[in-house]
Structure formats: C-alpha cells, structure tokens
Amino acid sequence: MDHSNCSHSGHGEAVAGDDGRYDLVPAGYDGPVYTCPMHPQVRQPKMGSCPICGMGLELESAAMVDDGPNPELVDFTRRFWVGAILTLPLLVLTMGPYVGWPGVREIFGERATLWIELVLGTPVVLWSGWPFLERGWNSFRTWNLNMFSLIGMGVLAAWIFSVVAVLAPDIFPDGFRDPEGHVGVYFEAAAVIVTLVLLGQVMELRAREGTGKAIRALLDLAAKTARVIRADGTEEEIPLEHVAVGDQLRVRPGDKVPVDGVVLKGRSSIDESMITGEPVPVEKVEGDAVTGATINGTGSLVIEAKRVGSDTMLAQIVEMVAAAQRSRAPIQKYADKVAGMFVPAVIGIAVLAFIAWAIWGPAPALAYALIAAVAVLIIACPCALGLATPMSIMTATGRGAQAGVLIKNAEALERFEKIDTLIVDKTGTLTEGRPRLVAVMPEEGHDEIEVLSLAASLERGSEHPLAEAIVRGAEERGVAMETASEFEAVTGKGVMGTVSGKRVALGNLALLSDLGLEGATLSEKANARRDEGETVMFVIVAGKIAGLISVADPVKETTPAAIKDLHKLGLTIIMATGDNERTAQAVAARLGIDDIRAGVLPADKARLIRELQEGGAKVAMAGDGVNDAPALAQADVGIAMGTGADVAIESAGITLVRGNLDGIVRARKLARATMRNIRQNLFFALIYNASGVPVAAGVLYPFFGILIGPMFAAFAMSASSISVVLNSLRLRSAKL
C-alpha cells in the first residue's frame, strides 16, 4: 500500500475554537499520527491519552496499521492482572467479617492486618492505577472534567486517608476510632475501583483492536505482486507498490487483479463479489474497467493501470473503514457527562462540610473538618460504578453466545437499543448467497428430465456459479449426465457443445439471436420468472428451443418471519444491494421490505448510511461481504453474518453465528434487556454513595451524633456491589 498520499494537513482547522495547542505533530513529520476519536484536534506522534477526555489515542491513518500487538493493551492488561492478584486477598481481609468469615482478621491481629492492607493496596493504587491518576490530574489541570477526574480524586482521597489512618491513627478524633483506637481504612475501595476501571479499559482496548484487524484483513486482500509488461515485450514480476499509472500488466487465469485499470487485450470473467456482493462473475472484454483485488477467471487479460496505491478502490475502502471506526464516540461519554456535573458538586459539598465543621464542630474542629471533607470525597467515589457496565456486558455476552449472537463490545449493545433503521444486504443476508436451480420448463416434444440432463451435461465443463447450480440441481434430482464434447463458452452469452451426438446450446437472448432463433413466444414466460428475481436461460437442442431453465438465489427460510418480527420491534428495513433493480424489487416485494437501493457500490452503501444519520436516523447495517465493510463500520451498529467474509466480521459490532436474519431479532431483544439492566445497575451503584455523601458531610451529627465510619462505608460498597452483581446475573435467563 502506498503511504505517500497520507496527508496530515488541515486537521487542526476542522474543529471550531481549536487554537492548535493540542496538535503536537512537528512540521514535515511523516510517521504515524495518533488522534482522539472524540476530539480530532488532538494529534501527536506517539501513543497516549487525550488531554481533553482521557481516552486512549488511535492511529489517524489506516495505512500505518501494523501487525504487532497494541502496546497500550499489553500495558493495561499487565496492570490489570497485577491489580486483580493484589486486590483479591485485600477483599478477603476486608469483606471476610461481613460474609461469615469473622476470624480472617483475627489470624494476624487488627494492627498487622491494617499494615498488610497498606502493603497490598499501595502498588494497586500507585502502579496499576497510575495512568488514571495521570489522566485525572490532566483533567483538573485543563478543567476538562471526566470520569478520570472522579476516579483519581476518589482513589487518592481513599488511599491518603487510609495511609494516614495506619501511620498516625492518634491524630483522628474519637468519633472516627474504634474502642481499640484503630481508624477504618479504605484500601480495598481504592484497589477495587482501580482494578474494575482497568478491566473496563482492557475490554474497550480489545474492542478497538478489532479496527486494526479489520484493516489488516482488507490489506491482505490485495495482490502482493504484479506482472508488468515492458516496452520490449518482456514480462517481470514486481512488488505491487512499484506499479505506476500507465503500466501494462498481465493478469493470468486465477490471479488477483493487482490495481484498478482498463482491459487492453483479452477476454475473461472476473469474480467481483468483494465489490458488488454478487456471486455471478462479470464478463470483461477490451475497454472494460477492472478493480484491484478482484479475482480473474479462466481467461488471460492485459490491463493498463489507472489507479494505484492509495487511489485504488480497495485503499479507499480501507480508509473508509478506518475513518468510520475512528469516528465512533465511546460508551464513556455518558460517564463523563455525569462526572462533569458530579465532580464539582462533590468538591462543593466537601468544601461546605469543611467550613461547617471548622465553624460549628466540636474540638478539635479543624481535624473534624478535614476528615469530614475527605470522607465526602471517599464515599462519593462509587466503587460499583466500575462494575455496573462490565458485569452486565459480560453476562449479556454469554447469553448472546448461547443464542448465536456474538457481541464485540458494550457500545454495540448500547447503540442497538436505539436503532430505528436497518439496512440489509441481499445476497448472503436475505438470500442463501449461492444460486440454486429453481425450475425446468420444457417445450412441447421434450420432457423435464431430458432438458435438464442435456443442460447439466453441457455445463459440467464450466466453472460459472450458474453452471454449478444447474449441475448440482441435476444431481439432487438424480438426473443422469453425459460427457460433452466440442465445448465452447461464448463470453456474455452462454455455452455450446455436443451431448450424445446432439448439438446443444444454453444461454440468453443474445445467444438465441446469434443462432438465428426467435424467442418471442417464450419471452413473456421468461420475463415473468425474471420479475421474481430469477435468471432464465434458453436450452437449444439441434437448432430448436427445447425449454427454459431458471436459476435463482433463494430467500433463506428464516428471512420472512424475521422481517415481520423486526417490523414489530419498530425497525424500518432498507435493502441495499449491488444486484440489478428488477431482482431487488422482486425480493423486496416478496418480503415486505420498506425501501430498496439497487446497483450500489461499497462507497454508495456507506454514503446512504451517512445521509440517513445526518437526517437523524439511528442506523444498523447487516451484511456479509468485503463490499459491506465500509457500511458496517459507518453504521451506528454493524451486524455481520458469521458465514461471511472475515473483514465484514471484524468491522461489525455484532456477529450472527448462523448468518440468519432472525439473529437480529434476538440481538435487539438482548440489547434492550442489557441496557435496561445497566440502568438498574447504575442506580444501585449510585444510590448508596449518593445517600452516603450527606452522612459523610455530617448532616446527621447534630441530631443523632452519627459520623461516617468504616462500617457504613463497607456496607455501602458491599451492598452496591452485591446488588449490581445479582441484578446483572438476571440477564442469564433473558428471553430472546
């Protein structure tokens, strides 16, 4: 792939109000550039996090994607496992007395246990959680408050409070100490928050890594070399990147077309299914355009290169997939909105609590004031908030897998709940994806078996998908076939040969005309079949029409019921296909599809989705081919058929294992159940903490003498976490 056209100019001006301070790419730099999906004005030459929202940066150009593992994913995975290993015994020590293991702290004694908690919790906070502390500090420094502001503030407050409580418990007022003089610590809360947030980040990074896989899968489709014809007539194999516009290239039978070009000499049929999605090869003769990465059939071609490197259609598809994937806003935006309001409110309450205790509190007033303020910051950080979404997603993912629906990330489920428009490909999605013999219609004097036997015998020598359908149909019906001789393929018209001493031809109206025959009497019958979306061929025996053979890509058995169910779930269904208008209309009318777009190319599908999105629609796209990849990436939710191309699966957020449309019905029901479950979890995660903030501030002290203590904090954390886990597990029994 040619990287020379990867321009980095103009990005800084794209965002209103951007003064260029976030663009750190030096002038003349041509290496990889990293940018934020939510804030494209952020650009820098190395990996890192966005200074505005804290999100990890992604590659700006698809051409720069390499095969190596994502260093950030490797780093975060390592930090997560270290955090998890240290947090587990910390939880056992802390939660043991509340789950029926009261003796677990007595083994070491309370004082020694507190020191063990300090030793276990500190590496989790200061090493595993260091990236979040950095992002939290940046958010306060730039006043771009986000989820990391809340995490950093809560974790540090809990850790510092706990360290002081272990090292100098005597400085705390009596209201904060137990009868033995020990102060409650929050190491486990800080460690659990860090570990759960790391889990969420690892899940997000794994999902984003699918972008790179999709792009690499697309790049792998291209030919690696091209056979160039020199001016003196000699031929040479050269790397693809050395091909220049105007070069003459030889495309041998079975080879991939190296670049976009025009046929100069030769005749062949080319499999363009990666572009059109249609299984039937397209005949190519002198003057016809060919597309790079499509597969040549049995003929040899000489082509002139017209578009190379980043100008080819494949390269453009790659960039479309990358741009569409990069433009997605992550699920964290909602948490950031909450944090943007919650952080100032909590800080405000902490300040007010400090002032109130300093003025009206008992002696030592400043000690009470400081501890009340810190307690507000600790209790405000909802530990279970980090658990609310991942727990639901993990449970939903397992439930989806049981039902043949594979979920790539939380974002896909979140978005799918709000979808109101579904765009479906025809071939391989609504239909089976390969032609099948539908009908044999003999003329007077001939019978069905005879006509099919002659046609199948003739087509045995052809590799055309329509020929395969006829031969397979004859085999299924137990019709005997003979060996054909003098076989001849007439490009764009049909085939001819001799079977059992009879001259047999099979083809379209153009072949009929060449043979000097009139098919007018059968045209009505043929057109009626074509209106049903079928391909009709004439069978000619000994110079006379012996009958018609009809081949079609049949609709999947599950499709009609699935379309009805999707309509009931409130979806508008649009069919976008590379097939012709007549066939598309026939299929759409039979299935009750709301709208069709026929003869569309990959860029057209992605553009259609963009137009619908600009009009306010929430769009899902279901497809199975390479040609669908840009549209799958552009859609709010991409749904790939598990029976389709790898690149389609990598570009999609949801994959249907069995490749049937009824899987979308199950996915929709799962999305609704999951998002409802997450909202319930967020309520459980926040309610205990929200109720704890005023208690921590000391509003109950004047009336009841109640101060926040370790018991309440432990209860709040345990109750919220248990509520979230139990509620998430309900998804295992969700009806889909």
237: number of Cβ within 10 Å: 10
620 touches 419 (CB < 8 A): yes
pLDDT of residue 338 exceeding 70, the answer is no
Burial of 173 (0-12, 13-18, 19+ CB in 10 A): middle
376 touches 346 (CB < 8 A): yes
What is residue 15's predicted lDDT score, i.e. its pLDDT?
Answer: 36
Tokens of 146: 């986000």
Segment 449-474 mean pLDDT: 85
253 touches 267 (CB < 8 A): no
What is residue 67's predicted lDDT score, i.e. its pLDDT?
Answer: 57
How is 166-234 classified by DSSP, letter by letter? HH-GGGS-GGGB-TTSPBP--HHHHHHHHHHHHHHHHHHHHHHHHHHHHHHHHHHHS-SEEEEE-TTS-
Instruction: Show the beta-strand stretches assigned E in 53-126.
Output: 58-59
First CA to last CA distance, the chain? 44
**Which pairs count as long-range contacts for 269-273, CB under 8 Å and 24+ apart, including other chains?**
269/297, 269/298, 269/299, 269/464, 269/491, 270/294, 270/295, 270/296, 270/297, 271/295, 271/296, 271/297, 273/625, 273/626, 273/627
What is residue 322's predicted lDDT score, i.e. its pLDDT?
Answer: 64
Which of 421, 373, 354 shows the shortest CA–CA distance to 570? 421
- Where would I find the H helices in 517-661? 520-530, 559-568, 581-591, 602-614, 629-634, 646-651
Residue 528 CB partners (closer than 8 Å, separation 6+): none
Segment 325-352 mean pLDDT: 68
Nearest-angstrom CA–CA distance, 526 and 448: 16
Nearest-angstrom CA–CA distance, 101 and 107: 11
Nearest-angstrom CA–CA distance, 353 and 695: 10
Burial of 213 (0-12, 13-18, 19+ CB in 10 A): middle
* CATH of the structural domain 436-552, one choice from 3.30.70.660, 3.40.50.10420, 3.40.50.720, 3.40.1110.10: 3.40.1110.10
- Which residues is 505 bridged to in the sheet? 496, 540
Distance of CA 216 to the CA centre of its chain: 15
What is residue 320's predicted lDDT score, i.e. its pLDDT?
Answer: 59
Nearest-angstrom CA–CA distance, 83 and 123: 8
Most confident of 10-24, 134-148, 466-480: 466-480
Nearest-angstrom CA–CA distance, 154 and 189: 9
For the stretch 583-634, pLDDT in tens is: 788 888 888 899 998 888 777 888 999 999 999 999 999 887 777 888 888 8
CATH 2.70.150.10 given to domain 223-315: yes
212: number of Cβ within 10 Å: 21
Q: Lowest mean pLDDT: which of 223-237, 240-254, 329-343, 466-480?
A: 329-343
What is residue 8's predicted lDDT score, i.e. its pLDDT?
Answer: 33
* Bridge-based pairing state of the strands 535-541 and 502-507: antiparallel
What is residue 11's predicted lDDT score, i.e. its pLDDT?
Answer: 34
For the stretch 55-95, pLDDT in tens is: 677 777 655 555 566 788 889 999 999 999 999 988 888 77
- Diameter over CA atoms, the chain: 116
Question: What's the Cα-to-Cα distance from 240 to each of 50, 81, 212, 306, 469, rounded to whole Å?
Answer: 36, 43, 21, 14, 36
The pLDDT mean for the chain works out to: 79
Nearest-angstrom CA–CA distance, 57 and 44: 9
What is residue 17's predicted lDDT score, i.e. its pLDDT?
Answer: 39
Nearest-angstrom CA–CA distance, 433 and 428: 4
Q: What architecture (CATH level 2) is domain 405-431+555-657?
A: 3-Layer(aba) Sandwich (3.40)
Tokens of 581: 């208008």
Nearest-angstrom CA–CA distance, 436 and 550: 9
Task: Tell me whether residue 271 is one of the annotated catalytic residues.
Answer: no
pLDDT of residue 717 exceeding 70, the answer is no
At how many degrees (to 10) do helices 710-729 and 71-95 cross? 120
Residue 33 CB partners (closer than 8 Å, separation 6+): 8, 25, 43, 44, 45, 59, 60, 61, 64
244 touches 392 (CB < 8 A): no
What is residue 98's predicted lDDT score, i.e. its pLDDT?
Answer: 63
Give the residue, 636 or 378, on which the prediction is more confident: 636
Q: What is the SS3 string spanning 4-72? A: CCCCCCCHHHCCCCCCCCCECCCCCCCCCCEECCCCCCCEECCCCECCCCCCECEECCHHHCCCCCCHH
For the stretch 158-203, pLDDT in tens is: 788 889 888 888 777 776 666 676 777 778 878 887 887 788 778 7
717 touches 383 (CB < 8 A): yes
Q: What are the residue ranges spanned by the domains of the chain?
A: 16-60, 63-221, 223-315, 327-404+669-735, 405-431+555-657, 436-552
pLDDT of residue 216 exceeding 70, the answer is no
Task: Please name the residue that has the structure tokens 């997450």.
Answer: 678
pLDDT of residue 330 exceeding 60, the answer is no
Nearest-angstrom CA–CA distance, 449 and 482: 13
DSSP annotation of 628: G
Q: Lowest mean pLDDT: which of 1-15, 65-79, 528-542?
A: 1-15
How is 426-477 classified by DSSP, letter by letter? IIIIIB-SS-EEEEEEEPTT--HHHHHHHHHHHHTT---HHHHHHHHHHHHT
Nearest-angstrom CA–CA distance, 56 and 198: 13
For the stretch 345-366, pLDDT in tens is: 888 888 898 898 888 877 777 7
Tokens of 148: 């990391």
Catalytic residue of the set 247, 336, 425, 636: 425
6: number of Cβ within 10 Å: 17
What is residue 218's predicted lDDT score, i.e. its pLDDT?
Answer: 67
Q: To the nearest 10°, the Cα dihedral for 343, 347, 349, 353?
A: 160
